Amino acid sequence: MNQPKSEIFSDGICVYVSVNVSNSFIGKLALVFANLLILTVIGLGVVWHIPGMVICFGLLFVLLAKYSLWNFFGWENLIINTRSVSYQRDYGLFKTRYIIKRLQSRLIISHSLYKPNPGCILCSFGSYKQVDNTPFEIYNMTFPMAEADAKYLNTLIEKLFIDDMSRRYDLPQIILN
């Protein structure tokens, strides 16, 4: 597996994260051959007038096509602010809608090493419930990030929450104009 590609930036209100992993050439080649094999069977079903075969392998092709798009062109997009975490999956030809998970308290980021690719980390986001203060999981990233990118993401999120806390507890501005 190649080194993951990450795009991380902040505008002071939100932190935007986009992650893509370049899969190996052999894996992509296997997916292309599997898609061609299923298309060949569908073509034979059409020529031989076997509708059951066309329907079954057509459904299998739709599932494999979605998986292939994810592995060729997939991006994972996150928008993190002090009130919510939003995530979306981009398959190249289509995107899912943003799913918004509200934060009840501070955001927790936990890291786990990605064993197939050394130097990469999988990030998991969580928070605490306000009622009984138990932790709950908000989102697990599918694609790993480089270790340096994960540290940079941590820094941006810490700055975001510190700025929000200082805005809430700071004295109001007085302008004498």
Give this prediction's pTM: 0.83
Strand order in the sheet with 99-102: 5-10, 15-20, 75-80, 84-90, 99-102
Element (H, E) at 9: strand 5-10
CB 67 within 8 A of CB 88: no
Statement: 6-21+74-169 belongs to CATH 1.10.10? no
Quick: pLDDT tens for 3-51: 778 999 999 899 999 999 778 889 899 999 999 999 999 999 999 999 9
Quick: pLDDT tens for 42-94: 999 999 999 999 999 999 999 999 999 999 999 999 999 999 999 999 998 99
Question: Is the per-residue pLDDT at 104 higher than 70?
Answer: yes
Q: What pLDDT does residue 3 have?
A: 73
25-47 helix and 51-73 helix, angle to the nearest 10 degrees? 160
CA distance 56 to 166: 59
Q: Domain ranges in the chain? A: 6-21+74-169, 25-71
